[in-house]
Amino acid sequence: MDVNAAVAAAAAIAGVLTGVIAMLAFRWSERDLKRPTRTSLHTDAVLPPGVDTVLSVLRSSAVVLDEADAVVKASSAAYALGLVRGGRLAVEPMLQMARDTRRDGEIRQVELDLPRRGTGRGEALAVSARVAPLGSRLVMLLVEDLTEARRIEAVRRDFVANVSHELKTPVGALSLLSEAVMDASDDPEAVTRFAGRMQIEATRLTNLVQELIDLSRVQNDDPLEDAEPVRVDELVAEAVDRCRHAAGTKQITMAAGGTADLHVYGNRGQLAAALGNLVENAVNYSPARTRVGIAARRVGAPGGDFIELAVTDQGIGISEKDKERVFERFYRVDPARSRATGGTGLGLAIVKHVAASHGGEVSVWSSEGQGSTFTLRLPEAGSARDRAHQHPDLDEDDEDGRAGRPARPSHETHPPAPDSTAYATLPSPEVLP
């Protein structure tokens, strides 16, 4: 009986101990669950009230770091720039700034050049980083991407430098020639010769100023505000008329042909200037007794047809290294020849802007010694109007997107080589001596 009582007592004691241990384990588990972990510290809960909302509306890339340099909060832009990787700030100079600010509480700012993610060409991102304390334990890093602003500033600086140089040449020549005329006042023959040179330089200066005005106008104006259907035949006739005298002087034959009764939609003055620049270049850079052709045709494309205007010459041609740069402002393939013909280096830049602002593009095929073909590709009148009405609120973006303008064509075609000129195969060419 005593043995049974002892066994029962031992069983009761064991049961009580088991219950106590189970209860202690349960309480211990609850305390562990409530204890903040490293992961839970990196949530929005540790941010001061309202900071998360402010960070979400900032245009700058934002990163918040805790006392262990771990990322508490980072915007999507910060990840896109490659500032945050694996939950850590990946840019060492910024990390050091954050540590210094956490230590002394001072706001710091610095501009850095960061390697661009996903490229192996050494391109860099220009950023401005600003670090400030956020409460007692956190620091906030704001990073502004300055790459595009720097690029625009460089383009503006180069443009001003180029304009200054181009204006200085004819102005300096006019000053010297006027002094020469004064010194040769008793020599009528010398005065006549110097006066002729002064007229040439004055004409060059006038052309440069006019092309600067034209370039500024096509960059700032919306061509579809005063747009209208324009007959391609009339544009071609106007371009040919503009260059008739220069072509006749060099005995260059101009031939116009292609599909008749085509229309494009846009600003008539800008379109005429663009095509006129292409034809004028073809005449200026062609040897005497050669041929310049202007051909028009309709090309099918998804979303609407396009009109191609190809201007082909048998001139000096363009090398491979120059093809990518011929549409840059003030760039000349042959500077000596350009100055001899009065070229300013702005004609093709104007063509490029006009094409882009009308939802088209301009391309070039060329071979040294064989000639060149410049192709101006524009939406046909009906499709251009439809696209403009469908997208009236598109914003301007560099040279490709334009407000209310149709999209650029997505297809790529190459114009024919000069030895099999487009106008030679098109029906009913009109030869214009």
- State pLDDT tens for residues 352-386: 888 888 889 999 998 888 899 999 999 998 654 45
What is the pTM (predicted TM-score) of this model? 0.51
- What is the maximum alpha-carbon separation in the chain? 155
| Residues found in the chain | 433
- CA–CA distance, 412 with 179 (Å, rounded to integer): 55
pLDDT of residue 86: 81
Q: Residue 284 region, left (φ>0) first, then alpha (ψ -120 to 50), else beta?
A: alpha
Greatest mean pLDDT among 124-138, 380-394, 406-420: 124-138
The pLDDT of residue 409 is: 40
Q: Which single residue is written with the structure tokens 């200066």?
A: 205
Q: What is the pLDDT of residue 411?
A: 38
Q: How confident is the model at residue 389 (pLDDT cuts 50, 70, 90)?
A: very low
Q: Is residue 222 scored above 70 in pLDDT?
A: no
pLDDT over 60 (residue 36): no
pLDDT attached to residue 336 = 47
What would the mean pLDDT of 247-260 be, rounded to a whole number? 90
Is the predicted pLDDT of residue 275 greater than 90, yes or no? yes
Confidence of residue 30 (pLDDT cuts 50, 70, 90): low
Q: Across-strand partners of 89?
A: 84
pLDDT cut 70: percent of the chain above it: 69
More confidently predicted of 262 and 32: 262
Which is it for the CA torsion 217, 219, 222, 227, positive or negative?
A: positive
Which positions ≥6 away from 269 have C-beta within 8 Å?
Answer: none
Q: What is the pLDDT of residue 125?
A: 83
Contact 318, 368 (CB under 8 A): yes
Of the listed ranges 137-151, 240-254, 406-420, the one predicted with least confidence: 406-420
Rounded Cα gap, residues 269 and 273, in angstroms? 6
Residue 19 is predicted with a pLDDT of 65
Is the pLDDT reported for residue 416 higher than 50?
no
Which ranges of 184-267 does DSSP label H, i.e. alpha helix? 188-220, 232-249
DSSP labels, 315-334:
SS---HHHHTTTTSTT--SS
Average pLDDT, the chain: 75
For the residues of 161-207, what is the DSSP string, one character each?
A: HHHHHHHHHHHHHHHHHHHHHHHTTT-HHHHHHHHHHHHHHHHHHHH
Place of tokens 């052309």: 207
- Domains, the chain, in order of start with CATH, read 44-145 (3.30.450.20), 147-220 (1.10.287.130), 223-432 (3.30.565.10)
